[in-house]
């Protein structure tokens, strides 16, 4: 799809309806002004992460343009609800370049791309049109496992490594809780920490990492 085709994507008559979310009000106002100047219709905005679900529900945008850090603060169940209730809505992140790769790894799976704040305005506009058409835009890639002096390093605690090992062996959270004499909620919390520390999005990635590491990761 070329840029002329992308220019015609979006809602009726090629219009793209965008909701903007950024915790810094100056950033929020700057993004909204830029988009309005370029013919993008702003249907909603917020600077409060807790308001994002309500604003999305009320405005039903084609694209949610949201600060990357803010997107992580929106609850997982809200993202699942967005996907089921607003399947045509696409999400585009905005991030500072120095944190873009790390935040991309932690981003919700519903995200379709990321624009860094040091990019040109034309890049943001093209990214909006691209994701509005249902296509992916660029996302930085962060390798979750780093090597230092030839050895794989892991930030996991001994308990977290135990749970990662059991996940790789196919145990459910309930089964892990029973084996380790923990509450199921405690196991869920620890699994969330493992995901966050390594930049993974699901249990499958934990299992693959654990199997690939061969058990030689360190705390």
For 68, phi then psi, to 5°, come to -60, -45
Q: Is the pLDDT of residue 61 over 60?
A: yes
Q: Is the pLDDT of residue 213 over 70?
A: no
Query: According to the model, what pLDDT value does residue 207 have?
Result: 80
Asked if 65 and 71 touch (Cβ cutoff 8 Å), the reply is no
CA torsion sign, 117 to 119 to 120 to 121? Answer: negative
Query: According to the model, what pLDDT value does residue 37 have?
Result: 93
Q: Which CATH code of 1.10.150.20, 3.10.310.30, 2.40.50.100, 1.10.10.10 fits the domain covering 146-213?
A: 1.10.10.10
Asked if 198 and 102 touch (Cβ cutoff 8 Å), the reply is no
Q: How many residues does the chain have?
A: 219
Domain ranges, ordered by start, for the chain: 3-132, 146-213
Query: According to the model, what pLDDT value does residue 13 have?
Result: 53
For residue 104, give the H/E element and its range: helix 100-106
| 113 φψ region: left (φ > 0), alpha (ψ -120 to 50), beta (else) | left
Query: According to the model, what pLDDT value does residue 12 have?
Result: 44
Q: Is the pLDDT of residue 212 over 80?
A: no
Q: Is the pLDDT of residue 137 over 60?
A: yes
* pLDDT top residue among 161 and 55: 55
Asked if 144 and 198 touch (Cβ cutoff 8 Å), the reply is yes
CA torsion sign, 3 to 5 to 2 to 71? Answer: positive
* pLDDT top residue among 121 and 7: 121
The CATH fold of domain 3-132 = Rossmann fold (3.40.50)
Spatial separation of the C-alpha atoms in residues 52 and 47, rounded to whole Å: 8
Tokens 């996940």 belong to residue = 167
For 50, phi then psi, to 5°, come to -70, -15
Render pLDDT for 74-94 as a digit per residue (tens, 0 to 9).
888 899 899 899 999 999 999
């Amino acid at each position: 799809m070329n840029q002329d085709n992308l220019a015609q994507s979006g809602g009726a008559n090629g219009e793209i309806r965008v909701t903007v979310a950024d915790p810094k009000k100056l950033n929020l106002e700057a993004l909204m002004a830029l988009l309005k100047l370029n013919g993008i219709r702003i249907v909603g905005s917020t600077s409060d992460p807790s308001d994002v679900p309500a604003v999305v529900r009320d405005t039903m945008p084609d694209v949610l343009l949201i600060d990357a850090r803010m997107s992580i603060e929106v609850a997982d169940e809200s993202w699942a609800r967005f996907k089921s209730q607003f399947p045509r809505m696409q999400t585009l992140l905005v991030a500072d370049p120095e944190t873009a790769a790390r935040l991309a790894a932690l981003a919700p799976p519903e995200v379709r791309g990321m624009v860094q704040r040091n990019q040109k305005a034309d890049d943001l506009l093209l990214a909006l049109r691209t994701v509005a058409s249902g296509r992916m835009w660029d996302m930085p890639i962060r390798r979750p496992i780093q090597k230092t002096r030839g050895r794989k390093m892991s930030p996991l605690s001994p308990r977290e490594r135990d749970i990662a090992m059991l996940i790789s062996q196919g145990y459910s959270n309930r089964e892990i809780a029973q084996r380790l004499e923990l509450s199921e909620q405690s196991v869920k919390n620890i699994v969330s920490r493992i995901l966050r520390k390594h930049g993974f999005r699901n249990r499958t990635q934990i299992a693959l990492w654990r199997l690939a590491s061969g058990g030689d990761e360190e705390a």
